[in-house]
Amino acid sequence: MTFAFYLGAGNIIFPPLAGYMAGEHLSLAMLGFLVTAVGLPLITIIAVAKAGNGWAGMTKLLPAGVATALAVAIYIIIGPAFAAPRTGLVAYEMGLKPFIGDMGQAGLAAYTVIFFGLAIVVSLNQGKLMDAIGKFLTPVLMVLLLALAIGVFAAPQGAMPDATGDYQNSPFVKGILEGYNTMDTLASLMFGALIVDLLRQKGINDYQGQFKYLAIAGLISAVGLSVVYVSLFQLGNTAAGVATDVSNGGAIVNAYVLSLFGQPGQFILAAIITLACFTTAVGLISACSDFFHNLTGMAYKKLVVLLGAICAVVANVGLSQLISLSIPVLVAIYPVAVALVLVTFLKGYFGRPRLVFRGVLIVAFLFGCLDGLGAAGMKMDAFAFLPLFDKGLAWLMPTLLACVVGMVVRPSEKLAAEAA
């Protein structure tokens, strides 16, 4: 189930494009991608288990307003701003466009209205239908991906392209930043608590048991995702001469499947991806509506309609454009998520944990914003002196330094006595 939570259409479209652009630097780029697309979500799930009580447990040392604002930002990113609209775009790019061609803006608008209209209807009336689709969909998708993986390694269809862009000079760091696009670390923060609740329903109520099973589930997911990513990286890395449209990973996968399995394989892929996108859209719209219902008191059904309509509007910017818009936001917000996970693990070493939690997250946010502005194309030459700034990781060293300071600085005896 945990693996199914992670595996969505977004996880399938990014690795092929990264593999294509990495060229001869495939190994380093893939390793960097695995750090943030597999390693971080796994560590985050374990951090959620360690903190206990899900999001509330991880953020209990933060001001309530800050914890709520961070949760709102994450839900907006994985909901109506980026992840949910992306499901409709991937369904269009991989499920319809290969067969009827580009229908232009009007065709995309019509498709997204129908796609998210149906998602709204199902979100309003959730029942056993979604469970049945989910139980059927994930195994079928895995069988297809496994067949694709075997085909990629046994019968590569094309040649290795030359490395382009940042993959020429810093493939490992570029892979790390590309791994942000899966958004799985942000998702881990939110649904880690859901998995803990499901464990309680299974009668696992003690902290040690929940930690154990959540860690095992996370490891199984990490292995599964790694197999998927490695095979898709290899697909992209042998797609030169096969894929003519390399604007996004969906187009590369479509061309490769057509070459490898012919038209029947492309039809099957289109059907599975469309269903995967649809179930993901329903899940994201439902989860976000439920969160904002509890936060604001606004009726759940009204929120479903509102968020579904926003998703349809946002989706009309196009897949490549939406990905471009999301990158600066993810570059800015991911350091905060990583910092929260880091201080959760180190809490026992801090002399003044409440102060350190807040200080580390502020540092990560401020320097993450610098990276985000740089990723958005703004001139940030004044900050070029910062370590790793040119790599898009200006937040890393200051955040680690803030953690070290938090471990070194201890409260005075008077403050310690007052705290006691």
Containing domain of residue 163, as a range? 1-316
The answer on pLDDT for 242 being more than 60 is yes
Query: What token pair was written down for 271?
Result: 């059907």
The answer on pLDDT for 414 being more than 70 is no
The answer to whether residues 400 and 290 belong to one domain is no
Percent of the chain with pLDDT over 90: 35
The answer on pLDDT for 238 being more than 90 is yes
Which among 133, 378, 127, 403 has a CA at the least distance from the CA of 275? 133
Q: How many helices (H) and strands (E) does the chain have?
A: 19, 0
Which of residues 269, 294, 316 is at a domain's end?
A: 316
> What is the C-alpha radius of gyration for the chain, rounded to an integer number of angstroms?
22
The answer to whether residues 300 and 341 belong to one domain is no
Cβ-proximal residues to 229 (8 Å cutoff; 6+ apart), any chain: 11, 15, 30, 33, 34, 37, 38
Mean pLDDT of all residues belonging to the chain: 86
Counting the structural domains of the chain, the total is 2
Higher-scoring residue by pLDDT: 30, 13: 30
The answer to whether residues 212 and 346 belong to one domain is no
Return the top range by mean pLDDT from 61-70, 94-103, 203-212: 61-70
Mean of the pLDDT values across residues 135-142?
A: 75
The answer on pLDDT for 270 being more than 50 is yes
Q: 347 phi and psi, to 5 degrees?
A: -55, -40
Report pLDDT digits (tens) over 168-189: 999 999 999 999 888 888 888 8
Mean of the pLDDT values across residues 230-245?
A: 91
Q: Where does the pLDDT of residue 126 fall: very low under 50, low under 70, confident under 90, or very high at 90 and above?
A: low
Mean of the pLDDT values across residues 218-223?
A: 89
Q: What is the DSSP string of 82-106?
A: THHHHHHHHHHHHHTHHHH---HHH
The CATH number of the domain holding residue 97 is 1.20.1740.10
The answer on pLDDT for 133 being more than 70 is no
Q: Which amino acid is at 164?
A: T
Mean of the pLDDT values across residues 205-234?
A: 87
Which among 183, 202, 242 has a CA at the least distance from the CA of 36? 183
Q: Where does the pLDDT of residue 413 fall: very low under 50, low under 70, confident under 90, or very high at 90 and above?
A: low
Residues 233, 243: Cα–Cα separation, whole Å: 14
Residue 130: predicted pLDDT = 55
The answer on pLDDT for 299 being more than 90 is yes
Residue 339: predicted pLDDT = 94
The answer to whether residues 301 and 409 belong to one domain is no
The answer to whether residues 145 and 281 belong to one domain is yes
Which of residues 316, 331, 346 is at a domain's end?
A: 316
Report pLDDT digits (tens) over 375-395: 888 888 888 888 888 888 899
Higher-scoring residue by pLDDT: 249, 102: 249
Which of residues 316, 338, 372 is at a domain's end?
A: 316
The answer to whether residues 285 and 187 belong to one domain is yes
Q: Where does the pLDDT of residue 420 fall: very low under 50, low under 70, confident under 90, or very high at 90 and above?
A: very low
Q: Where does the pLDDT of residue 21 fall: very low under 50, low under 70, confident under 90, or very high at 90 and above?
A: very high
Report pLDDT digits (tens) over 317-363: 887 788 888 888 988 899 999 999 999 999 889 988 999 999 999 99
Percent of the chain with pLDDT over 70: 95
Residue 336: predicted pLDDT = 93
The answer on pLDDT for 134 being more than 70 is no
Query: What token pair was written down for 168?
Result: 């020429």
Report pLDDT digits (tens) over 56-73: 888 889 998 999 999 899
The answer to whether residues 121 and 167 belong to one domain is yes
The answer to whether residues 194 and 335 belong to one domain is no
